[in-house]
Amino acid sequence: MTQFTLMDILRNLVFATQWTVILSLVSFIGGGLLGLLLLFMRIGKTRWLPPVVKLYTEVFQGTPLLMQLFLAFFGLGLFGIDVPPWLAAGIALILWTAAFLVEIWRGCVEAIPKGQWEASASLGMTYVEQMRHIILPQALKVAIPPTVGFSVQVVKGTALTSIIGFTELSKAGTVLTNATFQPFTVYGLVALIYFALCFPLSQVARILERKMNVAHRH
Amino acid sequence: MSLIAIEELRKSYGEVEVLKGINLEVEKGEVIAIIGKSGSGKSTLLRCINGLETINGGSITVDGAKLAEDEAHLRALRLKVGMIFQQFNLFPHKTAGQNVMLAQQVVKKTAKPAAEAMARKMMERVGLAEKFDAFPDQLSGGQQQRVAIARALAMEPMALLCDEITSALDPELVGEVLQVVRGLAAEGMTLLMVTHEMAFARDVCSRVVFMHQGRVHEIGRPEEVFANPQTPELQSFLGVNRAA
Amino acid sequence: MNYQFDFAWLATYWPVFVDGVLMTVRLIVIGGVVGIALGTFCAWARSLGPAWLKPAVVAYVELIRNTPFLIQLFFIFFGLPAAGFRLTEVEAATLAMVINLGAYSAEIIRAGIEATPKGQFEAGASLAMSPIQTFRHVVLIPALQKIWPALASQVVIVMLGSAVVSQIAVEDLTYAANFVQSRTFRAFEAYFISTAIYLGLAILLRFALLRLGHVIFPHKRAAR
């Protein structure tokens, strides 16, 4: 039996961390793009699109991410495809991320005072022009801190993909535990690596938020 | 011996000294009005007497007991001296009656029936017996302030400190609160009031303290102070007030 | 896609889901009550408590908020026995949920405490209440009332997150789905059913918590 030193464990974990990072980036960027599309549907002028998007966000926010991963994994399988875990993981996380981001961003758009709409309308702007020049630039500023804050949830969310067999940091932790019989050390290190990824994001979100609050007060 | 004795009281916020050696003796049953411009230190003086501000020098003695920093001494002091605030500070999650009962039960460990009986008596005294079960946000400002007075009275203090208690009220509600205070004065309650109500100070108070730049600038009976102000600062203060 | 959906197995296996739901509910009720109590203590410690306690609370809150629940669960269930602290599956799951909710609710409740007007603290003090008495009787209830909707959402999030306790063989709703799919090979249908039940539970739990808020907090009546 091979003996694992602490360095061996750490090296293996750090190697697996790259997949956590890649999956987080894919989910966050993919979820962001989908979220943006959904946002326009949600706040747009059509009658039937907003309730559809609302239902979408409520379903994805009201069910466990783990269930969404299972359904993506087995649901894609229904089409007769042999589904690789990374595909199911990516799709589920993108859909899940989009559901949260669209609600965060909708809140930011709705936080823009009514006077901004009225003032821009009184200048003869169309709805699209109002959005493009007046509302979105202001909403974007408000949206940055909570969006950065949510990225922490995405990184933590990727841990669940280990359960459908995607080999990232958490899965590596389980594999290494089974190989070394040192669960305390291995899971302790896994937790610290997640912390090292998430804590800076949390801090940046907090600093941005504080900055914005100060700017608002003056 | 005086009920409240303040000697060489000093208080600073950082570099700024707001109280620069205050001396004041208050006898039992006296009603004292503290007047002066904003920033003269009059509210700070009251807050020091209630231990809401830490003092930097001098001493405050109430009924023979000296104010000290520790928890036990502070609580003993606050049992002797009640305080009414400009913003009422009623507890929003409790009814008027519960506001009056709470500290009796929690601090004095009074049993609930006795606390309630006392609360009803005090609500009666401020003329709000029928509002016993109303929540603060169902009461007008004047009514809220009267509940605050009942709440302080229920602790049976030896003196009441009133910090601009009518300043946050609409003009038409000032009268009902002052009426209650007038009643307390008539019953012999010792009162220290920071106030802008000059007519009230003249009618009800036994002495008037004029504070200026952190010092007691002038002190005397209201008829002397108002009719014959000695210093130019008080003359100008009263002049400004008359004009306003 | 020529797949035939089949839910006929439900006739045989529905009691498995009932047991799973009961376990999930049991976990969130205990985890919710104890977790909020822990969160309240930490919120007090951080905003009003003794100076030496604050860094410990900050470290706890940040550590939990910045690591996945799954890893917290594995650390407690697999890691702690190595350090001589052995727990059953259900105990480990409950403890993990308490610790997780404790950290999140601490931050939420702290926001409520810090939004308390200074005059409330002073009114308590002027009535000779100790700082603890003032916190307990004057500050806490209005603070909780202010942040109750956010706290309710967080409890729902923790309930949904509890799906992973099936990974340490706690027989919750997800475990039920795993069990059924291993017997019937109807994976999609089994997870579909359990997902729908989770959605129903989330809606019900949120509704129940908001109702509870109406009961424990005095209503603001508009009439004067």
Q: What is the pLDDT of residues A54-94, one digit of tens each?
A: 999 999 999 999 999 999 999 988 887 788 999 999 999 99
What residues make up the domain containing B219?
Answer: 4-243
Q: Cα B240 to chain center, whole Å?
A: 24
Provide the CA C37 distance to its chain's centre, in angstroms: 11
Number of folded domains in chain B?
A: 1
Q: What is the pLDDT of residue C184?
A: 87
Phi and psi angles of residue B192, each rounded to the nearest 5 degrees, phi first: -120, 115
CATH classification of the domain holding A82? 1.10.3720.10
- CATH at residue B118: 3.40.50.300
Distance CA C58, CA C45 (A): 10
Q: Give pLDDT, residue B241.
A: 56
Q: Answer whether residue C220 shows pLDDT above 70.
A: no
Q: What is the pLDDT of residue B38?
A: 86
Residue pair B234/B224 in contact by the 8 Å Cβ criterion: no
Chains B & C: contacts with CB separation below 8 Å: 74
Residue B243 has pLDDT above 50, yes or no: no
Block residue for tokens 């009056």: B100
Residue the block writes with tokens 């009220």:
B169
Each residue's pLDDT tens digit, B143-170: 999 999 999 999 999 999 999 999 999 9
- Residue of C120, C126, C138, C145 to mutate for B, most B C-beta atoms under 10 A: C126
The amino acid that residue A126 corresponds to is T
Percent of chain A at pLDDT exceeding 90: 69
Nearest to C163 among A66, A170, A183 (CB): A66
- Could you give the domains of chain C? 17-216 (1.10.3720.10)
Range with the poorest average pLDDT among A208-212, B87-91, C8-12: C8-12
Q: Is the ipTM of this complex over 0.85?
A: yes
Asked whether B193 and B208 are in contact (CB, 8 A), the reply is no
B73 pLDDT tier (thresholds 50, 70, 90): confident
| Confidence band for A204, pLDDT divided at 50, 70 and 90 | very high
Nearest-by-Cβ selection for C66 from A160, A174, A194: A194
pLDDT score recorded for residue A2: 60
Mean pLDDT, range B88-101, rounded to an integer:
94
Is A167 within the bounds of a domain?
yes
pLDDT at C223: 39
Q: Does residue A136 sit in helix, strand or coil?
A: helix
Mean pLDDT of chain B: 91
Q: How many domains does chain A have?
A: 1
- Neighbouring chains of B at 3+ CB pairs under 8 Å are C
Nearest Cβ partner for B50 among C126, C138, C223: C126
Task: Kindly state the average pLDDT of the residues B201-210.
Answer: 92
Question: Both ends of chain A: CA-CA distance in Å?
Answer: 66
Domain-embedded: residue A1: no
HEC profile of C97-126? HHHHHHHHHHHHHHHHHHCCCHHHHHHHHH
* Residue C41 Cα, gap to closest chain A Cα (Å): 23
CB contact under 8 A, C66 and A183: no
Angle of CA points A55, A61, A62, to nearest 5°: 85
Question: pLDDT-based confidence at B86, cuts 50/70/90?
Answer: very high
pLDDT at C44 over 70: yes
Task: Evaluate whether C155 touches C30 at the Cβ level (below 8 Å).
Answer: no
How much of chain C, in percent, has pLDDT values that exceed 90? 84
Residue A36 structural domain: 6-217
Whether residue C150 lies within 8 A of chain A, CB to CB, comes out as no
C224 DSSP 8-state letter = -
- The pLDDT value recorded for residue B31 is 95
C-alpha angle A208-A212-C155 in degrees, rounded to nearest 5 = 65
pLDDT band for A216, please (50, 70, 90 cuts): low
